[in-house]
Amino acid sequence: MNYKNITIAGSGVLGYQIAFQTAFHGFNVTVYDIKDTTLEKAKLKFNTMSDAFKRDLNATQEQLDKTFKHLSYTSDLAEAVKDADLVIEAVPENPKIKIDFYHKLAKVAPEKTVFATNSSTLLPSQFAEATGRPSKFLALHFANTIWIHNTAEIMGHPNTDSSVFKDVVAFAKAIGMLALPLYKEQPGYILNSLLVPLLSAATSLLVNHVAEPEIIDKTWMKATGAPLGPFGILDVVGITTAYNIDKMAAEKTKDPLKIKTVNYLKENFIDQNKLGVSTGEGFYKYPNPAYKNSDFLK
């Protein structure tokens, strides 16, 4: 693996985390997004990330100064990928948006560039042809708060070149991740194959008026010893991501409960910009959510 220049496409919740983590470990990182105003917001998030790395990883100011020197920003896709060894796509969890992005990316990326999707639930085979280089395309999935929950699931599709797969596993290790290779395609990888049913069950309990979010979270946290309940997790993951996943499931299955969940999330959270930790409010209010109170489980 001789990657040096990494482009992160999308500066949302996971995009900016991947960018900062990668730059922290010495790679040259270009952050791409469609609007300069969005990139300006990402720059502010990097200041927050810097504080988190000091607090959680005991990062030194010297390390962080070097990290910022490794970061650059552009809303010009051709400029963003002109020297890229690897592009990590972290655009919204919507197949049409992703396919459109890959069509554009394929026209401007150098032949050497490997493409990786950070999709949470979609399979790389769904986008392989759109990339124009299926043998150099695979999935590289990170968990939220990646500097702490440092997992990287690597999942190819049937036509992914084995050497590309090995290089991406090596890259994941080089940026401080616990590399987790998967032998075959699996919707949701390992993490979300376990997590999504939990979050889905929690939202079903809520929209069916069985219990309130705090009660559901208290049940899970107390009974299992988990540090977060499903609604605390949803706030961290981002309610937009959960909404998009539920919306695709509702459209595919026509399940009345899924449709009800989608409408509930849209009316109570998406439309009100209560998207979780990133906006300061979701199921809880931040930076001091109720589940962090010492008496929450009493």
Residue 208, both tokens: 């069916």
What is the distance between the alpha carbons of residues 236 and 46, in angstroms, rounded to a whole number?
17
Residue 116, both tokens: 């990786």
Q: Which of 192, 200, 244, 278 is labelled catalytic?
A: 192
What is the distance between the alpha carbons of residues 32 and 22, in angstroms, rounded to a whole number?
14
Torsion over CA: 289, 250, 200, 154 (sign): negative
Cα 123–124–128 angle (5° rounding)?
135
- Is residue 153 among the annotated active site residues? yes
Q: Which of 11, 50, 89, 141 is labelled catalytic?
A: 141
β-bridge mates for residue 154, sequence order: 140, 181
Torsion over CA: 261, 263, 269, 273 (sign): positive
Q: Which of 120, 200, 244, 278 is labelled catalytic?
A: 120
- Is residue 192 among the annotated active site residues? yes
Q: Which of 89, 153, 157, 244 is labelled catalytic?
A: 153
Q: Which residues contact 139 (CB under 8 A, 6 or more apart)?
A: 116, 117, 118, 119, 123, 124, 153, 154, 155, 156, 189
Which CA distances in Å does 151 have to 34, 53, 189, 204? 27, 17, 12, 28
- Cβ pair 189, 209 in contact under 8 A: no
Torsion over CA: 73, 17, 197, 195 (sign): positive
Beta strands in 143-239 (DSSP E): 151-155, 178-181
Give catalytic residue positions.
120, 141, 153, 192
